[in-house]
Amino acid sequence: MAFSSGYRFNPTDEELVVDYLKNKILKNALPYNIIQEINPYDYHPQQLYNSHEKEGGKFMYFFTPRDRKYPHGNRPKRQAVDGFWKARGVDFPVTINNIKVASKRSLVYYNGSNKNSTKTNWIMYEYVMDQHSTPAASKPTYSKTSQAAASRSNATPDDSNMKLDDWVLCKVYLKNHKSENKNQAASSSGASSISSEPPQMKGNDGGGAICSRILIPQSQWPQ
């Protein structure tokens, strides 16, 4: 199955959360989509772009589990290949009938390490369901007792304890600055960008005839 010609996958935040992410968590059937099951933290975003089937225009969509950064906390792991994702700003609520059902967080990709990094134009929106919106069984449990015991024994926590969420939904794209640069160039040039020469108009003969407008005072108008 594929989209008809002229159609693109462009759901709203509410549709992404209710129709896709929630049903994914609950193991229900999903409407037709182009959302892939890929952990974007295992790749550089350029790798994802090169291999992803870009049916949705400039946006790439992924279902992915989320791991903890530390065994004893709830901070998500943001490290990726050759860089990391860094959250910016605060979470935005996704609401249905004025009830918050999920959170949307914006992240930007940095090449390099935390101490020596370069900001890129890769942007990710991460959608996370609120706990009250899905059954408790869909949220991985976090055992403080087992984690504390593992810490005391210097044991490595198992994968199930390091998992923060079974599924979140990520929307990744490359921010385009072309239109912004054009606007800045136009504003910086100011009046100097306006030519004092009359515009050149091509006549019907294809020649480069110059058309100028001559203003005649009203007193000299023919009677």
Dihedral sign, Cα of residue 71, residue 74, residue 75, residue 76: positive
Residue 38 has, within 13 A of its CA and on its CB side, a CA count of: 22
Q: What does the pLDDT average to over 98-110?
A: 95
pLDDT of residue 158: 55
Domains and CATH numbers, the chain: 13-178 (2.170.150.80)
Across the chain, mean pLDDT equals 73
% of the chain beyond a pLDDT of 90: 37
Angle value at C-alpha 220, between 216 and 218, nearest 5 degrees: 65
User: What DSSP state is assigned to residue 19?
Assistant: I
Q: Which of 103-112, 150-159, 163-172, 194-203 has the lowest mean pLDDT?
A: 194-203
Q: What does the pLDDT average to over 2-28?
A: 88
Q: Which of 40-44, 126-130, 181-185 has the lowest mean pLDDT?
A: 181-185
pLDDT of residue 145: 46
Burial class (CB in 10 A: 0-12, 13-18, 19+), 189: exposed
Q: Is residue 211 over pLDDT 50?
A: no
Tens of pLDDT, residue by residue over 167-205, are 999 999 999 866 445 544 444 444 333 333 333 334 444
pLDDT of residue 218: 58
d(CA 59, CA 52): 10
Strand order in the sheet with 99-112: 36-37, 60-67, 163-174, 117-129, 99-112, 83-96, 79-80
- Residues listed for the chain: 223
Q: Is residue 118 over pLDDT 90?
A: yes
d(CA 124, CA 98): 25
Pick the closest to residue 88 from 125, 62, 60 (CA basis): 125
d(CA 96, CA 15): 10
User: What DSSP state is assigned to residue 70?
Assistant: S
Pick the closest to residue 7 from 33, 30, 37 (CA basis): 33
pLDDT of residue 166: 82
6 against 54, higher pLDDT: 6
